[in-house]
Amino acid sequence: MSEGSTFGALKQVLVGKPIPSHLAHHERLSKVTGLAVLSSDPLSSVAYATEEIVRTLILAGAGALALSIPIATVIAALLLLVAFSYRQTIHAYPGGGGAYIVAKENLGPIPGLAAAAALLIDYVMTVAVSIAAGVAAVVSAFPRWHVSRTEMCLAFVVLIAIGNLRGIRESGRIFAAPTYFFLASLLSLIAAGAWRAMSGDLTPVPPSGTPTPTGVAVLGTFLVLRAFANGCTAMTGVEAISNGVPAFKPPEARNAATTLIVMAFLCVTLFVGITLLAHAYRVVPQEESAAGYETVVSQVARGVLGGRGPLYYCVQAATMLILVLAANTAFQDFPRLSSILARDRYMPRQFMNQGDRLAFSNGILVLSALAGILIVVFKGDTHALIPLYMIGVFVSFTLSQAGMVRKWRREGGRGWLGSALFNLVGAVSTCVVLVVVAVTKFAEGAWIIVVLIPLVVLWFQSVHNHYARVGAQLSLRGWRPEPRNHNTVLVPIGGVHRAVVQAIQYAKMLSGDVRAVYVDVDPKATEETRREWERWGQGVPLVVLQSAYRSLMEPLLEYIEQVDAERPDDFVTIVLPEFVPARWWHHLLHNQRALLIKGALLFKPNTVVTSVPFHLSK
Amino acid sequence: MSEGSTFGALKQVLVGKPIPSHLAHHERLSKVTGLAVLSSDPLSSVAYATEEIVRTLILAGAGALALSIPIATVIAALLLLVAFSYRQTIHAYPGGGGAYIVAKENLGPIPGLAAAAALLIDYVMTVAVSIAAGVAAVVSAFPRWHVSRTEMCLAFVVLIAIGNLRGIRESGRIFAAPTYFFLASLLSLIAAGAWRAMSGDLTPVPPSGTPTPTGVAVLGTFLVLRAFANGCTAMTGVEAISNGVPAFKPPEARNAATTLIVMAFLCVTLFVGITLLAHAYRVVPQEESAAGYETVVSQVARGVLGGRGPLYYCVQAATMLILVLAANTAFQDFPRLSSILARDRYMPRQFMNQGDRLAFSNGILVLSALAGILIVVFKGDTHALIPLYMIGVFVSFTLSQAGMVRKWRREGGRGWLGSALFNLVGAVSTCVVLVVVAVTKFAEGAWIIVVLIPLVVLWFQSVHNHYARVGAQLSLRGWRPEPRNHNTVLVPIGGVHRAVVQAIQYAKMLSGDVRAVYVDVDPKATEETRREWERWGQGVPLVVLQSAYRSLMEPLLEYIEQVDAERPDDFVTIVLPEFVPARWWHHLLHNQRALLIKGALLFKPNTVVTSVPFHLSK
């Protein structure tokens, strides 16, 4: 494979060496590494959840900001509720209970597909939102970089995509350090802030950029619900551990369940802690402006740590890293779910993992492209993306919990009612959040996802129907192949040269009935060809076709038609010499006649077009 | 050809029926139709030549406008000189003396190619300038349409391109009416204007738009030369008749020569006439502005005809029509010259006319695309395009005349010295104009063409060298084909279904050595395939390859390598079942494995990849 290996080498440089089958199983995760690998998505949402609440409340004036604390408390309670609800899923689906599987098995194919659509959208949004928030953390620390935010976001997408194409896996090694760095940084920040608040050593943060203008909106139910809906972004990613149960060391389910609860309490601590500190330090959310932009977490860190010192930069770096990791999880989940959907024939089989990394690469490329488009359209602005994010998340939460309720009811067993009730509370509360989000954020972009989910489900179904139809047409059941006995081989030639001689050599090996075909457009050239043919024709008869219209294609197609009519059920093979130029752009200098002939015969049954490559060396 | 004819029918709707060979010769042209067919380009330049002069002179104040008359007189004299010089070319090249042919035969290949490059550029510019000027005529009459000028230009390009793809030919029928309509309108306009001027019934034109601000530049030599260079645009297209000699009725040369001289005198009359009237009616060139834009010819017509009456609209319509016809001539000339260059192997063979209209269509598409780009870049502004126009025109003039001088000198014959001197004067004067244009318009865009011509010549040569190398590699002289005796046929399969069974049927007809190849990635599926194979394998052995890396491609490529090594000089054929979906977008739902395999084997000698189509009906 001398030349072929050039291609292989290039592929290896770009995407890394293939992994032998016996090494394909991931190392199993302990609780410590499991927390690191599967919690970056939920933990990272702490970076923007508080900000999303206060950004809405400020519309009703600075006084309304105090409401952030009760709102955060309700969300924290909901988060714990959902986590405990998912804990039941872990025990019921020790093989991994993604929303698609749970909803499909218990509620039927359509809810399953809706959950799958919601999840795929969710993954795209996770990439866009996490990277936008990560870049916001960078920009908060280095306000000068503010101008090239969209470009920085796209650069991160490309970097993570290349990393994943090369095969960075959910390896504890890579994940543990940044996750625990983040936990340590934020827990220390909260502890220090709490200490300073209690010791009375607290001064409000001086604003650095342009504070959001304090609004005069009435602090009505709708506004509070909107703030609540925005804050629910803290709950995104809670389901990750329940999907990844089989990755844990045995006893898998118990280890996963413990990890899930630890993760939930950590999330609550960070989220409530940041919200309390933001209020204590009188943090006001900032507007985008020419002066730059600073996140709420950055302001809190500045307040607690007394300005931009080394510790402050640690907090920002940790925040950025965990957000990039969160985006990275979507790069694992999107191709995996696509592969499952492709296996079930709901997505094109190009996404089905059949060895190599080809299928996963397709998933990674599609995910990067979609996330990139979102980032460009929404200019890398976290706040603009959030309304689109949560619909997908809460649709899959609700369907998954509802599926669990159905499962308990159907299967019965000891204590089924208690379990069912627990999941029912989960399903109802996430459904309520879903409705609140859809209503309060509808005009801000949530409508896009409300419209998109059914469209994606329809697409899944049309793909499925196509494969079903193809399967029926390919089925061998009760089918009998027609007997074929003859292969007429035609070699259209435009002159006599080495490539033609080689094509005739090849054609003679295929069949006893080989004919060279030449179209007469110029009697002198025809005469010359006839003469050359006597010497080089290898005994193959030369058919000369007349062309009334100076066309080369039409007489040829008519002749093929005529040959086909001689034996309608048998094969006709058209052998064409094809130049393989030494440089790709040389292709532009040669007639694409082979392509034209192939195109013209594409829909003709029993007709095969073969190109015999003739390699040009320079 | 049931389905094949769908393609044919579509092609006929778009580009018309093919023309039988015996009808391909154009009807021969009389002097009257010849003037119409071949003069639209030179005559139409009257529409913008005067304006280009006064636009420059106004920079030195309104008083400088009087200089337009001596400048126009010098240009008129030059035009007659060049016309008489080309009259000699007509007699020397009764077969058609394009600048490429004359320069190549007499000066050598490089000047020939330079002339060809200049001409191709000239044709692109003719389309862009003529259409921009045509739209300016429309906009002058209907100022409200001013805003969508670029769009109108592009619409004209598309219309003319479609017309030419459908095969509008240089038919006297189409050309005679607008050309004589234009001649009649403008000659009447000039006569009426002259009458009113002589009868003292003359009032200056009231300006309609924004007059160009009168400048305060010093009326130095450079400015006068610039005005002169701009006015020389009146000379473009003079060579057209000398290229088209064989289209005339016999005696061809004499008829063409007479037509040329008539055309030259008509051009001079119109150009000098319009320039005199513009001065008499105190026409001031206009700036582009929100109020619209009016050409000098439109202002003259308004002045002479006393406003926008029916006669005024006739003049504008005639101007627009002749300019569109002028653009149309480039749509004939560009593909024709490309075809000649392709025949000489200086351009890709896709431009060589070998029957049908395919080659001409390529020329038409390339010309339209280039002209469209120019129009977009220069926003359909005639004045911005003119500096680019003239370099190409005068390079080809100069090379063609210089070639004639060389020809007379070499051939001698009775009175050669007189003829040579005449052409020498032509060559020198066009060369002087070329230098004046290049110097005075360099910064305004002429530099683009000065740079482009050598680049195009280099491209011609690299294409030529490529074809020469390919020709050497294909040559049969002293070559002996290697004997080939064996064809190993491999059929890679991913399962057993109808398409596979059909591919095996086909493969068995090609060779006695057929092997089905299956890659084992899942032992259960492999077992199933082996079982099915016993029933459906038609006696063909099934080779099962192990895949350490879960890859399908690599074991297959390695096996092909191994098979090839068994008999290095013989053929290996890979037969692949290929789905032909019922709808084009279904392609996206099927693996493009055939394409991948073909790509991987492209550079491997003696390896043929064949797809046996399997037609899906829904």
Quickly count helices (H) and strands (E) in chain B: 21, 7
Q: CA dihedral in degrees (A591, A597, A599, A601; nearest 10)?
A: 180
Task: Check: CB of residue B86 under 8 Å from CB of residue B239.
Answer: yes
Query: Taking CB atoms and an 8 Å limit, are B613 and A602 in contact across chains?
Result: yes
C-alpha to C-alpha distance for A97 and A86, rounded to whole angstroms: 9
Task: Check: CB of residue A56 under 8 Å from CB of residue B589.
Answer: no
B590 to chain A nearest CA, in Å? Answer: 7
Domain ranges of chain B: 26-467, 487-615
Share of residues in chain A with pLDDT > 70 (%): 90
Q: For residue A300, give the amino acid letter.
A: V
First to last CA, chain B: 21
Helix (H, G, I), strand (E, B) or coil at B109: helix
B21, B476, B498 ranked by CB distance to A549: nearest: B21
**Radius of gyration (Cα) for chain B, nearest Å?**
32
At A390, list the tokens: 């949560």
Name chain A contacts of B521, Cβ cutoff 8 Å.
354-355
B466, B502, B557 ranked by CB distance to A4: nearest: B557
**Chains A, B: CB pairs < 8 Å:** 212
C-alpha to C-alpha distance for B234 and B238, rounded to whole angstroms: 9
B496, B552, B561 ranked by CB distance to A1: nearest: B561
Q: Which of the 8 DSSP states describes residue B442?
A: I
Report the half-sphere exposure of A428 (CA within 13 A, side-chain side): 6
Q: What is the mean pLDDT of residues A128-133?
A: 94
B8, B350, B481 ranked by CB distance to A505: nearest: B481
Q: What number does CATH give the domain B26-467?
A: 1.20.1740.10
Q: Scanning every residue of chain A, which has its alpha carbon at the shortest distance from the alpha carbon of B617?
A: A473
Query: Taking CB atoms and an 8 Å limit, are B521 and A354 in contact across chains?
Result: yes
A355, A356, A589 ranked by CB distance to B348: nearest: A589
At B276, list the tokens: 């005199």
Name chain B contacts of A8, Cβ cutoff 8 Å.
554
Q: For residue A195, give the amino acid letter.
A: W
Strands B513-520 vs B571-580: parallel, antiparallel or unpaired: unpaired
C-alpha to C-alpha distance for A168 and B60, rounded to whole angstroms: 71
A596 to chain B nearest CA, in Å? Answer: 11
Neighbours of B391 (CB within 10 A): 26
pLDDT given at position B168: 57
Query: What would the pLDDT profile of A464-522 be if each residue is shown by its tens digit?
Result: 999 898 888 888 888 888 888 889 999 998 889 998 999 999 999 898 899 999 988 88
Quickly count helices (H) and strands (E) in chain A: 21, 7
Query: What would the pLDDT profile of A400-428 be if each residue is shown by its tens digit?
Result: 999 999 999 888 878 888 888 888 998 99
At B467, list the tokens: 């074809």
pLDDT given at position A22: 40
Cα–Cα separations (whole angstroms), residue B277 to B51, B209, B233, B312: 12, 19, 19, 15
Strands A542-546 vs B210-211: parallel, antiparallel or unpaired: unpaired
Q: Scanning every residue of chain B, which has its alpha carbon at the shortest distance from the alpha carbon of A511?
A: B510
Q: Tell me the fold of A28-467.
A: Amino acid/polyamine transporter I (1.20.1740)
Indicate whether A4 pLDDT > 50.
no
Q: What is the mean pLDDT of residues A258-270?
A: 94
Q: For residue A369, give the amino acid letter.
A: A
A3, A501, A589 ranked by CB distance to B466: nearest: A589
A491 to chain B nearest CA, in Å? Answer: 15
- Which residue, chain included where needed, has tokens 């059949």? A354
Close Cβ partners of A471 (under 8 Å, ≥ 6 residues apart): none
Query: What would the pLDDT profile of A144-177 be if each residue is shown by its tens digit?
Result: 777 788 899 999 999 888 888 876 555 566 778 8
* pLDDT: which is higher, A314 or B592: A314
Name chain B contacts of A571, Cβ cutoff 8 Å.
506, 509
Name chain A contacts of B474, Cβ cutoff 8 Å.
497-499, 614
C-alpha to C-alpha distance for A75 and A394, rounded to whole angstroms: 13
Query: What would the pLDDT profile of A325-378 be if each residue is shown by its tens digit?
Result: 899 888 888 988 898 898 899 998 888 765 555 667 888 999 999 999 999 999
Query: Taking CB atoms and an 8 Å limit, are A497 and B506 in contact across chains?
Result: no
Nearest CA-CA partner of B593 in B617, B572, B609, B569: B609
Q: Scanning every residue of chain A, which has its alpha carbon at the shortest distance from the alpha carbon of B600?
A: A4
A520 to chain B nearest CA, in Å? Answer: 10
Query: Taking CB atoms and an 8 Å limit, are A557 and B506 in contact across chains?
Result: no
Query: Taking CB atoms and an 8 Å limit, are B616 and A499 in contact across chains?
Result: no
Task: Check: CB of residue B396 under 8 Å from CB of residue B118.
Answer: yes
pLDDT given at position A6: 45
B96 to chain A nearest CA, in Å? Answer: 22
Query: What would the pLDDT profile of A274-309 be if each residue is shown by its tens digit?
Result: 999 999 888 888 877 766 788 999 999 988 888 888
The yes or no reply on domain A487-615 and CATH 3.40.50.620 is yes
B24, B549, B609 ranked by CB distance to A21: nearest: B549
Name chain B contacts of A611, Cβ cutoff 8 Å.
608-609
Q: For residue B410, give the amino acid letter.
A: R
Query: Taking CB atoms and an 8 Å limit, are B561 and A481 in contact across chains?
Result: no
Q: Scanning every residue of chain A, which has its alpha carbon at the shortest distance from the alpha carbon of B348?
A: A589
pLDDT given at position B14: 45
**What string of DSSP letters covers A391-456?**
HHHHHHHHHHHHHHHHHHHHH--TTHHHHHHHHHHHHHHHHHHHHHHHHHTIIIIIHHHHHHHHHH
Indicate whether A72 pLDDT > 50.
yes
A551 to chain B nearest CA, in Å? Answer: 4
B349, B476, B573 ranked by CB distance to A591: nearest: B349
Name chain A contacts of B520, Cβ cutoff 8 Å.
none
Name chain B contacts of A354, Cβ cutoff 8 Å.
521, 550, 552
ipTM of the complex: 0.72
* pLDDT: which is higher, A250 or B514: B514
Query: Taking CB atoms and an 8 Å limit, are B509 and A511 in contact across chains?
Result: yes
At B282, list the tokens: 């105190």
Q: CA dihedral in degrees (A121, A123, A128, A134; nearest 10)?
A: 150
pLDDT along chain B (618 residues), means of 10: 43 48 56 85 91 89 87 94 89 82 92 94 94 92 81 91 72 76 93 87 74 70 90 88 82 90 94 92 80 85 87 92 90 87 89 64 91 92 89 92 92 84 90 92 89 95 91 86 87 89 91 91 89 91 84 85 88 87 73 74 82 82
Query: What would the pLDDT profile of A86-123 be if each residue is shown by its tens digit?
Result: 888 888 888 776 889 999 999 999 999 999 999 999 99
B476 to chain A nearest CA, in Å? Answer: 6
- Over chain A, what is the mean pLDDT? 85
pLDDT given at position A172: 61
Task: Check: CB of residue B352 under 8 Å from CB of residue B104.
Answer: no
User: Hey, of B6, B510, B616, which one would you mutate to test binding to chain A, going by the most A CBs within 10 A of its CB?
Assistant: B510
pTM: 0.69
Query: Taking CB atoms and an 8 Å limit, are B610 and A613 in contact across chains?
Result: no
pLDDT given at position B603: 74
Query: Taking CB atoms and an 8 Å limit, are A4 and B561 in contact across chains?
Result: yes
Q: For residue B160, give the amino acid letter.
A: I
Cα–Cα separations (whole angstroms), residue B362 to B220, B373, B499, B614: 47, 17, 38, 33
Query: Taking CB atoms and an 8 Å limit, are A600 and B557 in contact across chains?
Result: no
Cα–Cα separations (whole angstroms), residue A69 to A73, A274, A277, A287, B503: 6, 10, 10, 22, 70
Strands A607-615 vs B487-492: parallel, antiparallel or unpaired: unpaired
A350, A499, A557 ranked by CB distance to B474: nearest: A499
Query: What would the pLDDT profile of A520-558 be if each residue is shown by its tens digit?
Result: 888 888 999 999 999 898 899 999 998 876 677 888 889
